Every structure is written in C-alpha cells, then in structure tokens.
Amino acid sequence: MAISTEDRHRAEKLRILIEYHRKRYHELDAPEISDEAYDALLSELTYLESAHPELRSDDSPTHRVGGAVLDSFKKVAHVVLQWSFDNAFDENDMKAWEERMIRYLDREQGITVANIMYCAEHKIDGLKVILTYKNGVFVQGATRGDGTVGEDVTANLKTIESIPLTLSRPVDCIVVGEAWLAEKELTRINEERAKKNEPLFANARNVAAGSLRQLDPKIARKRRLNCFAYDIDFFDGKKTSLFMPGTQEGELELLRKLGFTVNEHYKICQNQDEIARYYKTWSKKRHTLPYGVDGVVLKVNDRALQTALGHTAKAPRFGIAYKFSAVQTTTVVEDILLQVGRTGVLTPVAKLRPVLIDGSTVARATLHNEDEIKRLDVRVGDTVILQKAGDVIPDIVEVLKDLRPKHSKPFMFPKLVALCGGDGSIERVPGQAAYRCVYKDSGAQLQRKFEYFVSKKAFAIDGLGKKIIEQLMDEELLTSFDDIFTLTRDNLEHLEGFGEKSALKLLEAIQQSKTITLARLVTSLSIPQVGEETSEDLAECFGTLESLVKGASKGVEDISGIGPIIAHSVADWFSDQENKKLLGRLQKHITIVAQKKQRGGVFSKKTFVLTGTLPTLSRDEAKALIKKAGGSVSGGVSLKTSFVLAGESPGEKLSEAKKLNITVISEKEFISILKNA
C-alpha cells in the first residue's frame, strides 16, 4: 500500500516529538507528559512504521532503550545488555504475544509446547538499577542508561536500606531491581519543599530517578528510597551450595535467600485466563499499594524456554509489560460540535478518533465552553492528550501543537444553531463563558429536560429512555413534566416497539416513581445552575416545597455552598408564574417525602468540595459519608468552603482552594477524622 504524504509527515513529526519527550523522561527526569500519553504516541509511530516499512530507520525512537548517560557521572559498560519490555494493552495483545512465542519456538528452535506457564509480577514505576556483587559484597550500582552503557550511582544506591551491602553468601552476581519512592515519602518531601517555597515534585518516579542522579549521596539518603530485586543477569555460586534456578520463580526465591527485598505479590499463572484474573485484581487494587505500579510484567517461568526465545533488537521475546488501562492517551479531534443542554446552554463537544481509555472506547469529549477552547487553543485536526479520572467524562487536557496540521483555524462559535429552534439564534450568558439558545423552548432543550427529569438522579423512571421520550414528544403527548403522570395504556400501546406488557411495565414504573424526596424533585426541574448538591442544600434548609417556594423569593445566598449566581437563578425560577403553575400540577400526582436534616456529626455545618479521583472511595460514597457526618457538599470553592477533599489529578478547584487558604485534605486524612470522631 502506497504511503500518503500525510502519513509521511505525521511519522516525521511523531519521531521528533517522541525523541523530545524521551530525553525529558530518561535523561532529565523531568517529563512533561504522562507515561500513558508517551506510550500512545510511540504506539502510533510503531503502527505507521509497521504499515509502511519504508518509514523505518535505524535512529527511530521505536528502536531505542532508555536514554543517554549524563556527563556528570562515570560511565559503566553493562556486562549484560539491559532491555526494556514490549507493551501489551489488552487480552488480544497478550494472546498474540503467546502465539508469537509458540510459533518462534516451533519454527526457529524446533521446540513444541502445548502450554506455557508464566511468572506474573508488579511493574513498579521507578528507576531500573543494576547491582554488582563480588564475593557477596556490593561493589557497583548503575542505571540502565541506553541499555549498553549506564551511570555509576553506587554511592547513592548504598543509601537505600533495602539494598544489602553484603549478601548472606559469598557469591558473584549481577542483580537487576527497581528503585522506588513510597507515596507517603513523596507527600513528606513535597510538604518540606512547600515550606521552603520550592517547586513540588509531580510524582514519585521523578523523585526516585532524580535522587539517584544527585552528586551528593546525602540528598539521596534524605529521600528514603526503596528497592525491589527481580532478576539475576549473572550468577556464580563459587564454593557455596547455591546455583542458578531453572525458573523465574526460583530466581525470586534465590534473591530473597541472598538478602534482597523481593515484591511479595508475584504469582505463577498456568494460562492466559489466570493472567487475566491477576491483572484485573491488581488493576483494581493498585491504588492501595505504597508504591506506584502501572501494569503487570509477565515472564515465561521456565528459564530454558527464556534462553530459547532470546531477544529481538529491542526487547526479550519471553517477557512483556501488560499495562493497566490508560487514564491518559492521545487521539485526534475530527470535529467540534455543539450540543444543546436541558437549560438551553450550548456545550462544545470534540468528536474524536475513537480511542481506548480506562477500559472503554471514547469517541467524544466535552470542551466545556468558549473560554476552555481558547485556553487549550484546540482545533479540528489537532492531536490531543485525553484524560479520564474515575467515572468522570474524559477531558482534553493538552494540545500537542507540534503535530498540528497546516492551515488549521481557531474554532469560532456560530451565530445561528439549528438545534435552538425558532430562528436558531444564540446569545452569550451574562457573566459566564457560555452561550445559550435565545428561543428557550426548542425541541432539543425540552427533550433534554424530559430525559433529566426521568433519570436516576431525579424521578428514576426505569424504561422511559431517550427514544420513547422522542416518540411521545412527536405524538405531542409530552409538553410538560406533569404529562408523564397522565400517560395511559392507550397512549403507549400504539407507539413503535410497544405492546400490552411493555406499556403496563412502563406505567408501573411511573407509578412507583411518584414518591420522591424534595431534593430529587428540585434536581428534576432543570433549574439553571442547580444540580444535585445544591438541591440537597435547599431541601435540607427548607424541608418542604411550600417553604422553599416562599423562601426562594427572599433569597437563598446565606445557605452554605450557594453563591450569588445560583441564588439569583433560584429566585428567578421560583418567582416565575409558569413554574409555580407547573409545581401545582405536579403536586396533584406526586408525594414529597419530608427531608430529614442531619443533626450533629463531626462535619456539622462544614462544607466540602471534592476534586480529583479518590484512591478507594467513589464520589457518591464520599458524599454519603460527609452528609452522614452532618456536612454538606458544594460544587464550587468559595470562602464558605470548609474543606477540599482532593484525590489524584485534581482540577482548578485545588488551585482556587490554595488561593483562598481553604484546608485541603486527602482521603486518608478524611477517613482518619471520621474514625476518630
């Protein structure tokens, strides 16, 4: 297949960008993008070179291992070449790797195997180190470097207490391990740096690598690094009774016997199904570990088979790194679309080249508003870094402008949008970075409002989905929220896809939804600026719908977590005569459960804001614990905020909290407060 000019230019741009980020990571210990984003760029280049062999070159970053040796350190020529593993990203990759090994053994070595056993280990996110011992005494430690030559960091490695200076037996050996920093140590170091107004470290891997590349060993000692040993490159038992085992599992046990610290979570897997179970277990539990882990390393357990399989130019054939699902990756923006929300606000959405992230395929990402588009300077055709945090919808966090196509143009909001109905005109929302439809009762908006009204957050009417709502609107059976409660069997049975049973099932679901809390009722109404958290605050403050209607007109800004913009929106909505009539009609069909106020509790009268992904708690679980302890949760940081509960990949809320001197706590501190209450 002939290569296009576009692919040729793309490959060249990728090589330049990957080489830049490779040096930042391996040589300067100062990466600018995540490992996942780097892997995604490298995977794309690998694909292009595989599809078009004429693109391959000896200096391509797809052929490299590690980085260059820094001039400030003595160079060490490795006795045994140091490799990096190829990556697998899903079960198909793993099966393909196994099939390649079986074919290679049969074709090249004349070895027929029916089943291969594997040693599965954690892929620690640290810095690879090579440790040399003579007569059981530690004589030299080095970094991987470019795989052939590394850096002599013996003095720094001697400060790591888990690296034995003298082994239990007087053997000669070369041992490979991973130096790493505990997450709690990263927190301690950053707290000390913050007091000195020094820049904070981004992650534990950077600190581990930077510590070993310090010219002063005292700095490395203060960092309290750790090390797991996982491989033996050379072994001479001399006059001892020890010998090189025949399995990878045996290697780990020998390392332990010699006095090395070995990660305890390794497991022998009989087949691919057991690998999948091990992978899924640690993918879920990785955040509970004291060290960073970004995947699982699989090695053929039989060392004779390892020797027969050998290595490619870059990596061992007998091992592979099975990476955990990415929370960051790269993809291309194919278009920027506008979607109309339930309140008429227009949200720009990026249509993406489909990409796998955090276990699911993503083809769209919200761009939030015009200001966010300008801040990112995202354009159609751009290559972007996509990030997914927990269950949150993926966000574009960065544009890789080095890969931007020529003649790209900045995105501009149009003046007319067909989805807005009427004349399609739009307007800027006063005081906000958002546009909305001028014609406020467009079909698109109304349908979104109905969908939200019946969603799990609101009335939770099972079976009343988007398609059915659209049909009912087309038949003019739905024009207002209360119409839902007047639907009959005759209304439903003649709709496409409905019969007697399905109609009765939906009517039963509607009947069951009629008892609702005040908070969920307020959520269902699509009041501008009002979501679940504000609805809870209003319900807890007023208790009944009657009190809320009366109190809203007098102002709700004094309620914790509610600012002037939200207060104004609430007052406007409840003052509107049409909305009052709607509430009157709804009350004929529904029963509102009295809202119970939380009394006392360690977080009584305290307001929380959540940001980032918590290690073990989901957002809903954290909110439930806060409310059970008497606190409330707000969507935005203000002077009324008591605590910001921050997890991994926090957003702008963390910066706002620091500006306002709001107390920021981790999940661990949060749980500790609850336990000690």
DSSP letter string, 139-196: EEEEE-TTSSEEEB-HHHHTT-TTS-SB-SS--EEEEEEEEE--HHHHHHHHHHHHHT
**Contact status, residue 165 vs residue 259, Cβ threshold 8 Å:** no
Residue whose entry in the numeric block shows the structure tokens 């033996």: 232
Specify the DSSP element, H or E, that contains 522.
helix 518-524
Both tokens of residue 577? Answer: 């005569």
Distance (Å, whole) CA 559 – CA 542: 10
Which residue, among 240, 234, 256, 252, has the nearest Cα to 174 in the 3D structure? 234
Nearest residue to 147 via CA among 123, 130, 163: 130
Catalytic annotation, pick one of 74, 123, 554, 675: 123
Short-list 529, 566, 532, 528, CA closest to 460: 532
**Residue length, the chain?**
677
Rounded Cα distance, 585 and 205, in Å? 60
Rounded to 5°, the CA angle 598-604-610 comes to: 95
Angstrom distance (rounded) from CA 625 to CA 631: 9
Residues 6+ apart with CB under 8 A from 630: 598, 599, 600, 601, 602, 603, 604, 605, 606
Rounded Cα gap, residues 459 and 289, in angstroms: 40
Tokens representing residue 247 in the block: 């399995």
Known active-site residue 123: yes
Residues 6+ positions from 261 with CB-CB distance below 8 Å:
162, 226, 227, 228, 229
Question: Could you give the residue numbers annotated as active site?
Answer: 123
